[in-house]
Amino acid sequence: MENTAPRKKRALSCIQPSGVPTLGNYLGALRNWVGMQDEFECFFAVADLHAITVRQEPAKLRQQIREMFALLLAIGLDPEKSLLFVQSQVPAHSQLAWLLACHTQFGELSRMTQFKDKAQKHADNINLGLFAYPSLMAADILLYQPDVVPVGADQKQHVELTRNIAERFNGLYGNVFTVPEPYIMKTGARVRSLQEPTRKMSKSDENQYAYVSLKDDPDTVMRKFRRAVTDSEAQVRYAEGKDGINNLMEIYSACTGDSLEAVEAAFAGKGYGDFKQAVGEAVVEVLRPIQERFARYMQDKGQLDSLMKQGAERASLASRRTLDKAMKKMGFVLV
Ligand code: TYM
C-alpha cells in the first residue's frame, strides 16, 4: 500500500569539533536537536572540515572529532532516529562547496561577522578557507534538503546567506535546493560569557572562567558561577544594563524550565550569592547524566567507529543525490 503519511519536515545542523563544547553550545543548539528527533527527520554532523580554518594539531583534532561524536550520542541523539555523521567522511560536502563558492560573492563573504571576528583573532592566518567558510556551510545544509536549520543566534547570518545562495542557484538552473529557515529557540539562543556578559560564551575564550565546558566537574562549575560577573544592584531581576544577571537568569531558566518571571519571584529578596549557587547547581544537574554517558561511549572505540561508519555510508548516499542533480543542472557530464 502506498504510504500517504505527509513527509516529516527535515532538520539539519552541525557543530565544530574545536575544543570541548560549552554550556552555550548545549543550551543554544545541542539540547534542541535532541528534542527535535521525533518531530523532524534529522541530520546532525560533526563539522570537522570547518575546524581547520584555524590551525589544528592533528592528534588533538583526531581526538576531538571522536569526542564530539561521542558527545552527540551522550546528549541523547539516537542513531536509530537521526542520521549522525562526520562531515569529512562524506565527500559531497567538499564537492558541493566548490560549486557554491562559484555562486557566492566576495562582498557577501566580507560582511560575515564571524569572518571579521576570526580574522582579527587569527591575524597571522587569514586563509581562503576562513573566508569561504559559509560556502562550505551552505553545502552542508543544502545537500540534505532540510526545511529548518536549528542554530544559536550567532549562526543566523550564515543560514541567511545559505538561503541567498540557494535562491540564486535555483534561479539560474531550476529547482535544485530546498530553501531552509533558521530555527532559533528563545531560551539559550545566546548564552553569554560569565566574565564579559556582553559577548557570547565561546570555547575559544582565553579566560577559562568565561565559559562552562560540558566536561567541567561539579566543583569547577560551582567555582565558575561564584566568580561570574554581575552588578552592584543586588536584585535578581531581568532588566536592561544587567547583562551578567540576565545571562545567569537565562541559563537558570533554560536548565530548570522556569520562566524568567518565576525566577525573579523565587529569588526576590535573596542576594546574588544564593542565586549563583542555585544556577551552578542547576547546571551541574544538567551535565551529570551527559558526562556519565560520554565516559561510557569513549570507552568503546569499536562501537564509536562502527556508528561513524554507518552514518558516513547513509549520509554519502543521501548527499550524492543532491550533488548529482546540482552538477547535471549546471552542465557537468556525469558518467
Ligand atoms: P559552532 O560549532 O560554533 O557551534 C555549534 C552550535 O552552537 C551554537 N552556539 C551557541 N548558542 C548559544 N549561545 C552560545 N554562546 C553559543 N555558541 C555556539 C551555534 O549557534 C551553533 O548552532 N558554522 C557552525 C557549524 C556548522 C553548521 C553547519 C551549523 C557547520 N556547518 C551547517 C548548521 C548547519 C559553527 O561554527 O557552530
Q: Note the pLDDT tens digit of each residue in 154-188.
A: 999 999 999 999 999 999 999 999 999 999 887 67
CA 315 centroid distance within chain: 18
Q: What confidence score (pLDDT) does residue 190 get? A: 86
Question: Nearest residue CA, atom 4 of ligand 1?
Answer: 15
Amino acid identity of residue 99, one-letter, is: L
pLDDT band at 117 (very low <50, low <70, confident <90, very high): very high
Q: What confidence score (pLDDT) does residue 181 get? A: 97
- Residues 112/134, Cβ–Cβ less than 8 Å: yes
Dihedral in degrees, nearest 10, Cα atoms 266, 268, 273, 279: 30
For residue 165, the CA-to-ligand 1 centroid distance in Å is: 19
Q: What confidence score (pLDDT) does residue 4 get? A: 65
- DSSP element (H, E) containing 10: strand 10-15
Q: What confidence score (pLDDT) does residue 1 get? A: 54
Q: What confidence score (pLDDT) does residue 322 get? A: 98
Give alpha helix (H) positions in the chain: 23-25, 31-36, 48-51, 58-74, 92-101, 106-110, 113-121, 128-142, 156-173, 218-226, 243-256, 260-266, 272-299, 301-330
Determine the average pLDDT of the residues in 110-126: 94
In a mutational test of the pocket of ligand 1, which residue from 68, 149, 154 has the highest number of ligand atoms less than 8 Å from its CB? Answer: 154
Q: What number does the ligand 1 atom closest to the CA of 192 have?
A: 15
- DSSP element (H, E) containing 43: strand 41-46
Average pLDDT of every residue of the chain:
95
Question: What is the tens place of the pLDDT at every residue in 263-315?
Answer: 999 999 999 999 999 999 999 999 999 999 999 999 999 999 999 999 999 99
118 is a catalytic site residue: yes
Question: What is the tens place of the pLDDT at every residue in 223-272?
Answer: 999 999 999 998 999 999 999 999 999 999 999 999 999 999 999 999 99
pLDDT at residue 139 tops 80: yes
200 is a catalytic site residue: yes
Q: How many CB atoms lie within 10 A of CB 182?
A: 18
Question: What is the tens place of the pLDDT at every residue in 85-94?
Answer: 999 999 999 9
Q: What confidence score (pLDDT) does residue 67 get? A: 95
Residue among 81, 203, 215, 325 flagged as catalytic: 203
Q: What confidence score (pLDDT) does residue 299 get? A: 96
Distance CA(140)–CA(90), nearest Å, equals 10
Distance CA(275)–CA(230), nearest Å, equals 11
Residue 32 has φ and ψ, to the nearest 5°, of -70, -30
Determine the average pLDDT of the residues in 125-132: 96
- Residues 248/275, Cβ–Cβ less than 8 Å: yes
Distance CA(325)–CA(262), nearest Å, equals 52
Q: What confidence score (pLDDT) does residue 3 get? A: 60
Determine the average pLDDT of the residues in 14-24: 92
The DSSP string of 178-211 is ---EEE--STTTT-B-SSSTTSB--TT-S-GGG-
Q: Is the CB of 140 under 6 A from ligand 1?
A: yes
Q: How open is the CA angle 11-186-20, to the nearest 5 degrees?
A: 70
Sequence-distant (6+) residues with CB within 8 A of 142 are 96, 100, 162, 165, 166, 177, 178, 180, 322
Distance CA(269)–CA(259), nearest Å, equals 18
Question: What is the tens place of the pLDDT at every residue in 37-61?
Answer: 999 999 999 999 999 999 999 999 9
Q: Is the CB of 286 under 6 A from ligand 1?
A: no
